[in-house]
Structure formats: structure tokens, C-alpha cells
Amino acid sequence: MEPIVEHSGGVIGASWLMIAFPLASAAILLLGGRRTNAWGHLLGVFAPVASFVVAVMCFLQPSGRYDVGLYDFIPGVAKVGLLIDPLSITFALLITGVGSLIHIYSIGYMAHDPERRRFFAYLNLFVAAMLLLVLADNYLVLFLGWEGVGLASYLLIGFWQFKPTAATAAKKAFVVNRVGDFGFLVGLFTIFATFGTFAFGPVFDNAAKASNGTLTAIGIMLLIGACGKSAQLPLQSWLLDAMEGPTPVSALIHAATMVTAGVYLVVRSGAAFFPEGATASLIVTIVGVATLLAGAIIGTAKDDIKKALAGSTMSQIGYMMLAAGLGPAGYAFAIAHLLTHGFFKADLFLGAGSVMHAMKDEVNMRRYGALRALMPVTFITFFIGYLAIIGFPLLSGYFTKDGIIETAMDSNAILGWLAVIGAGITGFYMSRVVFMTFFGSKRWADDVHPHESPSVMTWPLIILSIGSIFLGGYLILSNRLMVYLGPAVGLPEALPQFHPFSPTGLATLALVALGAAIAWVRYGSAEVPQVAPRGSFLTTFARRDLYGDALNEALLMRPGQWLTRLAVWFDNKGVDGVVNGLAAGIGGSSGRLRRIQTGFVRSYALSIFVGAAVLVGAWYVVGNL
């Protein structure tokens, strides 16, 4: 890894503009209120595009690790500064690039919403916070961005807050994330107690001097934070509910960017707190594998197109986590998959949004069917995204997911095979989504008239699908991304060679094909019932999100409610009761003492002083005995 050097001036010195554009735009749109309704969406789109331009200009500068100090935040604790290095620029490009496309798409998607301006304000706020998260040069400022994206996520999931389900989902997302933040905070305290600073440079440089126990503790605490933000087990339950938000939000925040922040955190901290083979890293890989399977299983049973995709997101981030726990050999694949996933999953979500747009906001795939002819652009772009995510040869996902599976296999065969099985399930559930939506017979009501979406929505789809085709190969072949990220995250001892026909790769392809074939038999060629059949125990298990919510309710929510009631009762009857009882007792005896009450303030004052003097005197006597 390269050392971090201080830098000011020039393009790099102006990198803070990336954050400033969307932040200023959000402020204008929120403070300006209805006056900005007419042009609010245009400003809202301009901001991330401007940030994208700045990000590209930073990317074109000579590669290095530059620290741009901005101002003193908490004296003696942390400054606000940006770290511009290959890792942060990569993220900035993804956030502003895919982010801009989703902003453009939202002009069309939210066209009929009276609150479109507020929607853009929140989206801009999100982009600013997300950029702060990835560009921060220390853990505390990273945490500011971390909480900022959480807030934006809360606001956007609950954007249609008049729907009780949306309001509840928003609150749930925030609260579950706070559980993760609790871990993150304890990790921050430990970092400060150990190093006396939050700055990446000094912390990374001196990590080796800290004890193993401390490093593991910090790693686990940061991982808890990462699990919350990235919807990894056991803090995954909020993501499926988060689909209550408008679909562009699901695409931007709950697929392409925010939910990958946990992966960013692990990779960024990798060299210090998640070195290859360490306990914390092992836990990261276990969490990743468990989530990639859990998400995939949930994805198989969902009839709601967005929830099926959300299960898939969980699962794909599980792959990234797995790779992030494998040390320098895995980092580049984790980030590569994160980038390609950003494209194909945004493509899929926006495609789903386009379908919903055409279907009167119906999300139940059992009410879809045969849409490929009616919505050709949406279909083709969605189909490309589908091929990319299942790892169809030569498309983006093929390269990046295969890289993760191969690296996992090299490290531990159990991890590797579980990842292969996950890929097979992906083949099944994604094929199921495509067949139920675009193939088979039409199952929608007569008053629904599906139509292709306007070009402001289809163009972003087209661009995202192009990325879904080529990006993976570009990043992986000749180890382009790995070499580029090397100075920031470190390189493995030997660069991996890409084998198109490795045994693992062939096994993966075979399982994916099998999954797709089963899906075709059940949902493509067969008639899909409009009402979900009851299904076996396993189906119910998957439909109910592996009983995650039931578990939370039984273990946390109900006991919490009882504890709250008990505490309120105790405070009213117990603590306050004692005081009131005492007061009543005094009241009784004071009735007899009422004769002394003259009503003159001076005599009260006198008695207070006499009483105090007596007490002091008594204490003197006792003290001197």
C-alpha cells in the first residue's frame, strides 16, 4: 500500500465540490419550498451530474493517495478531510454515475407526484452523504456520512409517509441500522482509545503495533455496523420492508450504493482490522456466505418483484462480503462485483419500476406475464441485467462473481462450494422473475394497459444495460481493477489468472443452467396461478424471510414492550409513589403543625436559618466526638 500524502490545490483540492453540489441543491430545494417546484427536478439532476464531472476529473489525475484537509471539526479528536485514492474515486464514480442515471430516470418516474421536488431534495441529500462516506479521510467523518445516508434512506423509504406501511418500514430501517451503528460506535471508541486518532493514515500505519485482541474487537464491532448498513445477517430484516420506497430509491440506495457501504468499510479497513486469516476476517466470510444463501432463498419465494430483487441484493452483497473477508486476493473482486452489481441491479430495479409504471403500480408478478412484446426496451434491458446477474458467460456478472467464487474456493472449499450453490439458486430465482414477468400468458386485469415507458426512463436503462454487458470484463481481464486499486488496498502475492473453463466455473455454470431450467419448467412453460399456492414448509420459510421478523418480534419487540410497560408502571407507582406517599404523610402531620404557619416570609426565613444552624451544629458535635 502506498502512503497517504497531504495535498491541496488543483483538481484534487477541489474534490469537496463533489459533496457540495448535491448538498447545496438539497438545501435549496428544501428551503425554497414550493417556489422551486417548477425547476426543482432539473437542479436535482444537475447536482449529481456536476459531481460526476468532478469525479471524472479527479479520476484523470495522476493516481495516488491524496489527503485533502478541509477544516478542524472537533479539536483534538478529528478534522474534516477527504481521502482521494483509487478506492474512493472508484466509489465516487459509481455513486455519481449510476446516481445521475437514476436521477434522470426519476424525472419520468415521479412526474405525477406532487412532491417530486422534495423527492429530488432527499435524493441529493443522499448523494452528498454517500460521497462523504466514501471520501472521508477518517472514521468519524465516515460515520457522519454513514448516518447521513441512513437518514436519507429513512426519508426516502417513508417518502409516501401517508401509507402506514411505508412509515413503519422507514422507522424499522432506521432502528435496525442503529443497532449496527451501536456496534460501529463502540468500534470507534476502541479505535480512539487505541490510537488516539480516527485518521486513516496513522491508524493503518500503526495497526500492527496493537494487540491482536484489540484488532479483532475493532474488526467485529465495525462488522456489526457493516451488517446493519449492508443488510447482512443478523441485521438483514429491514431491507425487504425498505421496498416500500419509490423504486428509484430501491435502485440507488437499496441496491447500487448505500447497502454496499458495509463492503466499503471492510475493504477500507481491511489491511488494519481484517487481515487475511484473522478471526474477524473469518467472521466476515461466514456472514457473507450465510447472507448470500439466505438472500437467495428468500428471493425464490417472493411474488413481489421488488422483494425478489431485494432478496437478490442481500445475496449479492453477501458475495461481496465473502470476498472482502478474503484479504487482498478478494478485495478487487469484492469491489468489481460491487461495481457491476451497481449497474445490473440498478438496471433490474429500474426495469421493475418501468414495469410497475406500466402496470398501475402492481408489484405482484403473478399479475404480470407476457410483457416482453408490449415493453420491448424494458424487456431487453431487463433481460441483459438478468443475464449479467446469473453470470451468463462474458457478461459483467460472469467475470466478477466467478472471481469471488474462485478466490473463495482457493481459500476454503466449504466457502467456495456454498458460493457455487448460491449461484445456482440465483439462476433459479432470477429466471423465475423474468419468466413470470415477461413470458407466459398475460395475467393482468382488463383495466391495465401496459405501455413502454417514456424515453427519459428508457435511456438510463439502456446505458445501465450496456454497463451490465461490458464492465465486468473490462475490470477483471488483465486484472485492471486489481492493479488500479493496489495502492489503496494492497495486492495479493500473485496476481490471479483468469481461466475461462476452470472446473469451478463450469460447475457454477451447470448449476445456474439447472436453476434456470427448473424455473422454466415451473414458471415459463407452465401456467402461473394468480394466487400463490400454499406451498411446503420450506416455501413458507422462505416467504416469511426465514422467520427473521418473527424472531425479532419474539426476542426483542415483545419483551421490549413488556419492559417499557413495566418501567412506566414502576416509575409512576414505585419511584413517584414513594415520594407522594411521603408527601401525604407529611401533609397529615403538617395539619397539626399548621398553627406555626404565620404566613410571614420573614419568619419562614428565620426558621430556615435556625434549622440550618442546628444541623451544622449537630454535625460539628458528631464530627468532634
Asked if residue 69 binds another protein (CB under 8 A), the reply is yes
How many residues bind another protein (CB under 8 A)? The answer is: 78
Which residue of 36, 90, 197, 285 would you call a contact of another protein, by CB under 8 A?
197
The verdict on 189 binding another protein (CB under 8 A) reads yes
Question: Residue 117 or 307: which CB sits closer to another protein?
Answer: 117
Task: Kindly write out the interface string for residues 504-543 of this chain, putting x where it contacts another protein by CB under 8 A and - elsewhere.
Answer: ----------------------------------------
195 counts as binding another protein under rule CB under 8 A: yes
Q: Which stretch binds another protein (CB under 8 A): 48-56, 70-78, 399-407, 409-417?
A: 70-78
- Binds another protein (CB under 8 A): choice among 135, 188, 266, 371: 188
CB of 60 to another protein, least distance (A): 27
Contact region with another protein (CB under 8 A), list: 260-268, 433-441, 530-538, 566-574: 566-574
Residue 54's closest CA among 83, 14, 27? 14
193 binds another protein (CB under 8 A): yes
Minimal CA–CA distance to 511: which of 423, 404, 593, 449?
A: 423
Nearer to another protein, 165 or 478 (CB): 165
Nearer to another protein, 190 or 539 (CB): 190
Residues within window 329-348 making contact with another protein, judged by CB under 8 A: none
Interatomic CA distance for residues 187 and 203, integer angstroms: 13
Task: State which of residues 206, 216, 412, 502 lies at the interface with another protein (CB under 8 A).
Answer: 206
Tell me if 571 contacts another protein by CB under 8 A.
yes
CB of 218 to another protein, least distance (A): 11
Nearest approach, Cβ of residue 351 and another protein (Å): 30
CA 347 centroid distance within chain: 18
Run of H or E including 73: strand 66-74
Among 54, 78, 461, 546, binds another protein (CB under 8 A): 78
Distance in Å, CB of 224 to another protein, minimum? 12
Q: What number of CA atoms fall less than 13 Å from residue 370's CA on the CB side?
A: 11
**Selection from 516, 274, 498 nearest residue 406 by Cα:** 498
Q: Min. distance of Cβ 109 from another protein in angstroms? A: 22
Residues of this chain, 133-152, that bind another protein according to CB under 8 A = 137-138, 140-141, 143-144, 147-148, 151
Whether 153 and 171 have beta carbons less than 8 Å apart is answered as no
Of residues 2 and 115, the one with the C-beta less far from another protein: 115
Closest listed residue to residue 153, CA positions, set 172, 179, 135: 172
207 within 8 A of 272, measured Cβ to Cβ = yes
The answer to whether the CB of 336 falls within 8 A of the CB of 404 is: no
Q: Is the dihedral of CA 63, 474, 321, 506 positive or negative?
A: negative
The one-letter amino acid code at 69 reads: G
Which residue from 5, 42, 60, 74 is in contact with another protein, where contact means CB under 8 A?
74
Least distance (Å) from another protein to the CB of residue 178? 4
- Among residue numbers 235 through 264, which ones bind another protein (CB under 8 A)? none
Stretch that binds another protein, among 43-51, 313-321, 382-390, 563-571 (CB under 8 A): 563-571
Binding flag, residue 178, another protein (CB under 8 A): yes
Q: Among 111, 394, 514, 567, indicate the residue that binds another protein (CB under 8 A).
A: 567
Cβ proximity to another protein: between 554 and 608 the closer is 608
C-alpha cell at 538: 420450506
Q: Of these, 112, 211, 441, 599, which contacts another protein (CB under 8 A)?
A: 211
* Given 483, 540, 565, 606, the residue binding another protein (CB under 8 A): 565
By CB under 8 A, residue 28 contacts another protein: no
* CB of 73 or CB of 474, closer to another protein: 73
Task: Say whether residue 77 binds another protein (CB under 8 A).
Answer: yes
No. of helices (H) and no. of strands (E), the chain: 26, 3
User: From residue 574 to residue 613, what is the string marking binding to another protein with x (rule CB under 8 A)?
Assistant: -xx--x---x------------------------x--xxx
Locus of grid cell 493516481: 63
Contact 54, 14 (CB under 8 A): yes
Q: Which of 18, 54, 131, 210 binds another protein (CB under 8 A)?
A: 210
Report, in Å, the least distance between residue 147 CB and another protein: 4
Does 623 participate in binding another protein (rule CB under 8 A)? yes
CA-nearest of 122, 240, 242, 120 to 174 is 242
Is residue 187 close enough to count as binding another protein by CB under 8 A?
Answer: no
CA distance 210 to 203: 10
Phi, psi (degrees; rounded to nearest 5) at 599: 90, 0
Give the whole-angstrom CA distance, residue 217 versus residue 554.
29
Q: In the stretch 148-177, what mask flags binding to another protein with x, by CB under 8 A?
A: x--x--x---x--xxxx--xx-xx--xx--
Q: How far is CA 285 from CA 237, 279, 326, 390, 447, in A?
A: 19, 10, 7, 21, 49
**Binding residue for another protein, selected from 185, 220, 462, 518, defined by CB under 8 A:** 185
State which amino acid sits at residue 558.
R
d(CA 289, CA 368): 32
Q: How many CB atoms are closer than 10 A to CB 396?
A: 32
C-alpha cell at 570: 414502576
Nearest CA-CA partner of 55 in 100, 109, 9: 100
Phi, psi of 216 (to 5 degrees): -65, -45
User: Using the rule CB under 8 A, is 554 a contact of another protein?
Assistant: no
The answer to whether residues 180 and 225 touch, using CB atoms and an 8 Å cutoff, is yes
Q: Which residues of 271-302 are buried (b: 16+ CB within 10 A; e: fewer)?
A: bbbbbbebebbbbbbbbbbbbbbbbbbbbbbb
Torsions phi, psi for 138 (to 5 deg): -155, 165
Rule CB under 8 A: choose which of 8, 455, 525, 564 binds another protein: 564
With CB under 8 A as the contact rule, the residue among 22, 44, 81, 524 that binds another protein is 81
Q: Name the CA radius of gyration of the chain, rounded.
A: 29
